Each structure stands twice: as C-alpha cells, then as structure tokens.
Chains A and B, each alone.
Chain A
C-alpha cells in the first residue's frame, strides 16, 4: 500500500478565533481500507473530517484526493468527487420516507415532458431504494413510512445507505454508532465492511474501541490537533491505542 493514498491530508491547521483546533494534522486513507480516526474529546477529529468534506476550509496545509488538491472546495464539489459524509446528528428529513431521504437533493425526474415540468420519478426512486437496501442488507419494514417512525438503528442505516449510495470513492463517518444499541451497531459495522470490500475507502470516527478494533484496518490517533500515532489494527491492542490518545505513547513516523 505504498501507492498514492486515496486521500491524504498534510499539515492541516485550522483556527476558530482563539482556539487552534488543528495544529498541523495529517491523515491518510487508501482505497479498500477502513481507517479509524481516534482521539480524546477536542483532539480535532470532527474538525478534520469537516475540513476534508468541505464544510471548513483549512487555514494551512494540503488535502490531496488521488494526488489532486481539493482543499477549499465546497461541500457539493466534494460530493461531486464521490465523497460523502455521515454526520453524528443524522442529517435526515424525519417527515419524508426512506426513498425521499435516500434521494434528498438528488431527486430523479420523470422522463419526457413531465420531467421537464419537475415531476418526480417516484416509482423509479422507490425501486432503486429497495435495491440499495437489499444490497446493503438493511431491513426497513415499510420504506414508504416517514423515517421518523423507524428505530434509531434503522434511521442510521438509512443515513449510511444514502452516503454509500452516492459515494463511489470515500465515505466519512462521524460517530455513526454513537446512539445505537448492540445489534444496530453490528449492522452498521457490517455495512462498513461491505463498503470497504467494494473497494471504497472509509474513514470512521468513533469513541468505541471495541468497534474500532473490530472493523478497522488501521488506526490514526489525533491528540491536540496533531497526529500522534499510526497503528495497524491487527498489530496493536487497546492499551496501545489508549496510550496514544492520552499522550503516553507517540509513534515515531506519525507526524
């Protein structure tokens, strides 16, 4: 895996007023790889992800996607590259059904004159939604019901399904399992593996060490806005990760 990474961030600095959230943070993820981004509260994980997906522009530093600089692009330009984000607070419209949420902002129009009048292709989107859900083994009892009536786990599955449907390159997930019970968490982790196995890159922010150990290929640890460790999951253990998060351990090639 020494080829150009799918996405690489180098020396990112981001300041909010007096607070320097990122102080030269670096990060990389390859295609077909799950990289967990870990760190204590305030380490800069969410800020780094928001910088990558275009919500914030970095003050300094480089973000390369397939070797091309993407720093400072808008969120929709980032979407256009096949990069999608699953946010901590579900970004779903609770009153709309599963299909409407899956196609939110990307609604497909009917063919012909009706389409030119802005009429939706509801049937086609519903069919495609059923395919996507089946493909991802997400079980939504009634895809025509408002997503607010679904359980938390199912809602998160819809959010993840939406991201992976449109992300053909990279999926960023900010605490996707934070609000979920055990079976729902397992379902989301299975989804993450499927996305990886399809050759896409996944960046996972999580506080749950067991989840991270279970699903990730590598772990990158941030501390005080800087990368302090890059670990290969199968060669490390929970103690080492915690040590890196708390500052007791720093790996030499990290910065």
Chain B
C-alpha cells in the first residue's frame, strides 16, 4: 500500500458529436420531418385527391385504432417493457362486450354504454394480468405478453364459438362507429383525445416522470422509494384498457368483432411507437413521436394507392423506416455510453 494516489486522470468525456448528427438524433424531430416530406410528395403528385380534407380524415379514421393502442404502448415501452398482446386483447374485449350487449339488448343506449364499460374493463383486466405476471412472477414481458396474445385470442374464439359477433346496438354504430361531431368522426376525436391526454400525463405528471425513471433505471427507481411493481402493473393495465377501448371502437366501426383481423396489430403498434423515437430499451420517448410514427404507415398506405403505386410498397417503406429509427436510437445510446 505505497501508492501515492493515481496520476492518470479519467477523461472527463467528450467524444466528438457533430452538430448534424445531434440534429438527426433529436428524438422525434427527424421523424416529423419525414412525415412532412411524405405528405408534401403525395400532395405534389396528386393534390386534387390526396390533399382533400375528406381524404385526410379518411387517413385518420384508418389510423385511429392504432393510435389508441400505440398511446398505451408508448407508456409500456418508455417503462422498459413491451406488450405483444394488444391485438388479441382488442378482439377479446370486443367479443365480451358483444356478448353483454346482446344479452342486454341487442339495441339501446343502456346496452351501448354497458358494452363500452365492459370492453374497457376486460382490456384493463388483461393488462393488469400481464403486469402481475411480469412483476410478481418475473416472467419477461416479451414472453408474458406473447402468452396472453395467444390466450386472449383463444378465449375470444371460444366465447364467440369461432364466429364473429355482428349484433351491435345501432346507437353505438351511429355515434362511435360512423358518427361525426362538427365534421370530425368520433373515432378520430376519441383517438386524438387519447393521444393528447396520454401525452400530457407522460410529459407533465409524476406518473409520467416515474414511468421514464423506471424505464431508464429500474433499480434506481426502486431505491428512490418508488413502488416499481405497482407502477408497472398500472402501466400494463393502462395499455390493456386502451386496447379494450380500441376493441369497442373496432366493433362499432366494422359492425363485427373481426376475430381474425388483428393478429399483427402488436407489430404495427410497436413499429409505430419505435418509429416515433421511443426507445425499445425504455426511458426515452414522446407521445407526439408515437402519433407521427402511427401516421407514417397510414399516410403511405393511402398515398401510394392514390398515386397509383402498389400499396405493398407501404410494408417495404415502413420496414426500412423502422430499422433506421432503431439504428438512430442505438447511435444515440452509443455516443452517450462512451462518456
């Protein structure tokens, strides 16, 4: 023990970071620019068909279910988790709500409201189960929610006896399904309200702050006295609740429980959230980014058809954008951990 103190000074850190790269890495700014470029291109190619309010509202209608689910998934991913069960929970919630509405009606406001409540409850319940399995049984989120992805889909099929339910109160179809308020479809209003409320909670409240903290460093959050398990369960329950909301929206929109129509929703939702700049590793993300990330595939699908291109180009483009978005996230993390 004759050391006289270390003489090497730890580098204070400062790997070169170009201004251009930093601009590129700004969480959701780059992706917003990409969306604008896409809109401008389609607008220039066929302004008469693409840039009409009717068409843009159409795009929003097509994106509304994904927006609602992606809002929940943003919380889950920011908290460092993942939820593969969203599409199945959507179907399950719709089926349960459908059964309740048939038993009560099948028409009338009472049945409609009961249907909405049951769908929300069923979704939240699945989400809470996901959260409990993940935190209390310590099953990794990928597996826990893959399990409920299968289980919810299977139960939905059993309850529906393999056939889509089609009985839904006219009141629900005429409002939530196809109704409009001041020219805006209810589906779009609900979706945007969910995104707005979710974004507010994430950015400005203690709940949001703790969601980021847990995703950023779970152990630090625990040591700081945050009840991490309870918080995570509530995050998954929220994601489930929003899948339940999407379930009743879907049923109202299509007039069918669309049993087999949502098996890839989970991937679409995760792609949208990640394209929007939310990190797969937690701790980083914004609701605005998620909104943009959801709109990119929706605008592509719509615009490609309008300009006369095969809409399969959408899948190709979204795939590329997804990989690029994650690459940017990795760059961001790498430039940081070098310090």
Q: Residues of A at under 8 Å CB distance from B?
A: 75-76, 79, 85, 87, 90-96, 100, 104-107, 109, 117-120, 122, 146, 148-153, 179-184, 209-210, 238, 242
Q: How far is B214's CA from A100's CA once the two chains are assembled, in angstroms?
A: 12
Inter-chain contact A120/B217, CB cutoff 8 Å: no
Q: Residues of B at under 8 Å CB distance from A?
A: 1, 3-13, 201, 204-207, 209-210, 212-213, 215-217, 219-221, 223-226, 283-284, 336-337, 339
Inter-chain contact A75/B225, CB cutoff 8 Å: yes
Inter-chain contact B10/A96, CB cutoff 8 Å: no
| Known pairs A76-B225, A87-B223; A148 contacts B9 (CB<8 A) | no
Inter-chain contact B8/A104, CB cutoff 8 Å: no
Q: How far is B215's CA from A109's CA once the two chains are assembled, in angstroms?
A: 21
Inter-chain contacts of B336 with A (CB < 8 A) = 94, 146, 148-149
Q: How far is B228's CA from A135's CA once the two chains are assembled, in angstroms?
A: 32
Inter-chain contacts of A93 with B (CB < 8 A) = 212-213, 216-217, 220-221, 283
Inter-chain contact A92/B220, CB cutoff 8 Å: yes
Inter-chain contacts of A184 with B (CB < 8 A) = 10
A43 to chain B, nearest CB (A): 15
Q: How far is B336's CA from A55's CA once the two chains are assembled, in angstroms?
A: 31
Inter-chain contacts of B8 with A (CB < 8 A) = 181
B9 to chain A, nearest CB (A): 4
Can you report 21 residue pairs joining A to B where beta carbons are below 8 Å apart?
A75-B225, A79-B225, A90-B220, A92-B217, A93-B217, A93-B283, A94-B283, A105-B213, A106-B225, A107-B210, A118-B205, A119-B205, A119-B206, A148-B337, A151-B339, A152-B13, A152-B339, A181-B8, A182-B7, A182-B9, A238-B1
Inter-chain contacts of B220 with A (CB < 8 A) = 90-93, 104
Q: Using A107-B206, A120-B209 as known contacts, list a sample of 10 further A-B pairs with CB atoms less than 8 Å apart, ordered by residue number in A.
A: A93-B213, A94-B283, A95-B212, A117-B205, A150-B13, A150-B339, A151-B13, A181-B10, A182-B9, A210-B4
The one of A91, A96, A182 that contacts B223, using a Cβ cutoff of 8 Å: A91
Inter-chain contacts of A106 with B (CB < 8 A) = 224-225
Q: How far is B217's CA from A181's CA once the two chains are assembled, in angstroms?
A: 24
Inter-chain contacts of B212 with A (CB < 8 A) = 93, 95-96, 100
Q: How far is B217's CA from A90's CA once the two chains are assembled, in angstroms?
A: 10
Q: How far is B63's CA from A227's CA once the two chains are assembled, in angstroms?
A: 67
Inter-chain contacts of B1 with A (CB < 8 A) = 209, 238, 242
The one of B5, B209, B225, B284 that contacts A182, using a Cβ cutoff of 8 Å: B5
The one of B13, B213, B223 that contacts A100, using a Cβ cutoff of 8 Å: B213
Inter-chain contact B209/A95, CB cutoff 8 Å: no
